A and B are shown apart, each in its own frame.
Chain A
Amino acid sequence: GESVGLHLPTLSVQEGDNSIINCAYSNSASDYFIWYKQESGKGPQFIIDIRSNMDKRQGQRVTVLLNKTVKHLSLQIAATQPGDSAVYFCAENRSSASKIIFGSGTRLSIRP
């Protein structure tokens, strides 16, 4: 069956360091991937997306890498700040489908 999963449930990072959050997916038909950030008590907030015809995309302090060979997705956050503390979800949305399939999430905590 299709699934989008994460390698680690929690990640602790020193403030100022870079964070790398990983995600694996199993459906070869997936062609659109999204990273969402969810802070406590709030809804998911769009961070960045990438389509399957790309292997890298950069935003402000964030980079998403896509490796279709091993079905792996990662989110890199540069110079992690306290405000980056949240749960991060990778998600899949196929162009032919409507629903987003979410992974279980990685909780990112920042050490001062």
Chain B
Amino acid sequence: NAGVMQNPRHLVRRRGQEARLRCSPMKGHSHVYWYRQLPEEGLKFMVYLQKENIIDESGMPKERFSAEFPKEGPSILRIQQVVRGDSAAYFCASSPGTGGDIQYFGAGTRLSVL
């Protein structure tokens, strides 16, 4: 049973470009979460999705950031017109349910904005 798969592991973008981060949840999991981690800090919640629905996006910046979890395929976190402050590690987690279910994390995507 493969774990949560994220790709790419490392992503380098220049300011103004777009970044697309992908996440495939564990088999049997229908709940996906995205978190951001700055160096030497804890993870900060961004968004929670189920298939074709955004359930909670209270941690998402209002502009340039979007997320989706289509019926088929991985969940995508999209950052438009990246700025240097977007440089961070982005982690995806999945769970079979929510609210008290264990969330299992992927290895993350490290985004560097030049």
Contact = CB atoms under 8 A, between A and B. Distances in A.
Interface in A31-72: 31-32, 34, 36, 41-46, 49, 51
A101 B4 CA distance: 20
B56 interface: yes
Contacts, number: 64
B100 A99 contact: no
Contacts of A28: none
9 contacts: A43-B105, A89-B42, A93-B100, A98-B31, A98-B33, A98-B98, A99-B45, A99-B59, A102-B44
Interface of B: 4, 6, 31, 33, 35, 40-45, 48, 55-56, 58-59, 91, 93, 98-100, 102-108
B106 to A, nearest CB: 5
Given A98-B98, A99-B56, A46 B43 contact: no
Contacts of A43: 4, 6, 91, 105-108
Contact of A45 (B41, B42, B99, B105): B105
B102 A101 contact: no
A44 B102 contact: no
B106 A99 contact: no
Nearest to A94: B99
Interface residues of A, number: 26
Contact of B55 (A36, A51, A98): A98
Contact of A49 (B102, B104, B108): B102
Contacts of B33: 98-100
A7 to B, nearest CB: 15
B110 to A, nearest CB: 8
Contact of B41 (A31, A94, A104): A104
A34 B102 contact: yes
Contact of B103 (A89, A100, A105): A100
Interface in A11-38: 31-32, 34, 36
